[in-house]
Structure 1
Amino acid sequence: MTPPTSRTWSRRGHTPVIRVRGRSQRLFSIAALTCYKPGERSRLIFRPKRHVDHKRGGRRSFTRTDCRDLLTDAHQQLGAPMVLIWDNLNVHLDARLRAFTDARDWITSIQLPSYSPDLNPVEDIWSLVRRSGQCNTAFTDPDHLIRVLRRRLHEIQYRPELIDGCLAATRLTLTTSRPQPQ
């Protein structure tokens, strides 16, 4: 994985060069959900996946079944209905995954418009991870990378104000669709 660079320095007149070994082989994927409920602590639920068969032409991303399992686990953990806001990742557009979400009365699914990462709170989570967990780091091996990613995501899990800030950055608000008694 090529590390992002936040700041670097060098002697005056010398261009800083950051050496990186190898190329990205896409060994890991991470899926995440930010969960908000009025009056309760915001949550971050994530699942990393290591792609062990990446060199043999295997799939290098989350599959429909991985997303299905994440949604089922999140529902069990939250114990409440979910309003799911999808971005336009190809697996989110899969007809079989759509059929799964449509068949569950505890999932309401909303599709974001194309090219709208500013409406997705999870994009800000990835930004937080990149800025604090990956900047100026040359990972020694894949296990080092996954340890750093897990540690940073766990830190974010225990700071609900960061998760709330990611929602605030989208300028979306929590509202209820249920009619209020009069």
Structure 2
Amino acid sequence: MGYPDGGGLTAEGRARREAVRLQATAMFAQDVPVPEIAGRLRVSHNAVYVWRRRWLADGEGGLASKGPSGNGWRLSNAQLDALAAALEEGPAVHGWVEDQRWTLSRVAELIVRLFRQRYTLRGVSLLLHRIGFSPQVPKLQGERAVHVESG
């Protein structure tokens, strides 16, 4: 699942986890056994073994937080603004004249046309939420439509 900051943890959450890893470094220096460290810090033995290898190789720096995980966003802020503007123009402007609904599959196709980036329908849904659009289920149709009012 994608999260706004990339890895599902806030900066505070990453800092808390880093603090736990740094507590482990003090215990490594005192030759505290791995099972005892794991018990004290309430983490898995495997995590402690990984941390110890990093600590031996790179010191405390090897246990520092590397920031949010994930690949980041594929579309820039300018591209997101352009996508929002295209959605506001309506489907007919972009070739869908049979009805005036944006569907996830249509938005995915629009993204390919505009930016040459492919997204799954779930990825399109997450992207639309990120830029302030919400999905709606039409009363007579089974496919999800996209509500194009920002908010």
TM-score category of the 2 structures, normalised to the smaller one: under 0.3
- Higher helix proportion: 2
Structure of higher CA gyration radius:
2
- The structure carrying a bigger strand percent of its residues is 1
**TM norm structure 2:** 0.23
With structure 1 as the length reference, what TM-score do the two structures score?
0.20
